[in-house]
A = this chain, B = another copy of it.
Amino acid sequence: MQLSPVMESFILHWGEMGSRWGLNRTVAQIYALLYVAGTPLPADEIAGTLKVARSNVSTSIRELQSWGLIARTHAIGDRRDHFVAETDLWTAALRVADARKRREIDPAIAALAGCLSDARTDDAIGKDAVARIRAMHDFLEAAGGWYEDVRELPQSKLETLMKMGAKVARLETPARKPKKKKGKGRR
């Protein structure tokens, strides 16, 4: 696929960004390419466009699928798999959040629970240290529970909530000093 200058720079920026969020460069770039392209692309064309090995694309695609960020499609008269990016950004963001919760938060909670359980037979640890570990466990559990609650809301509702911003809470704190902002108001 022929990349225009802006597409190229978009993909490059995404590569950077992705690596800060725990994806590797290739994975991030493939998502970016599929996202701008907006049309299904076969693996070899992805490899050619991004100038990476075909095998690398194969691995990266598997990872993107594990995040739920791309889907496999087919074109008639073409045996090759084609891939499309999830272009709805709410959906994409929630997929990533789901995956991170499942892979990182949940195991962390479990590990902390394990620590707390072990702490009962560890006579070298202080009460307050245990209390701090418990605090962290409870904090993560509360955050996870909140996420699960919010996650069940329909997307439209989430969008509304986000547009409302802090107004939700303002209902309960009517008297607040007005926010001073230098830039032009958003939205």
On A, residues with C-beta under 8 Å from B are 2, 4-7, 9-10, 13, 17, 20-22, 35-38, 87, 89-90, 93, 103-104, 108, 111-112, 114-115, 118-119, 122, 124-125, 128-130, 132-133, 135-136, 139, 141-143, 145-146, 149-150, 152-154, 157, 160-163, 165-169, 172-173, 179, 186-187
Contacts and interface: CB of A to CB of B under 8 A. Distances in A.
A146 B122 contact: no
Contacts of A160: 169, 172
Contact of A168 (B22, B36, B118, B161): B161
Given A38-B132, A89-B135, A169-B161, A6 B142 contact: no
Contact of A152 (B2, B142, B163, B166): B166
A166 B13 CA distance: 35
B89 A133 contact: no
A133 B10 contact: yes
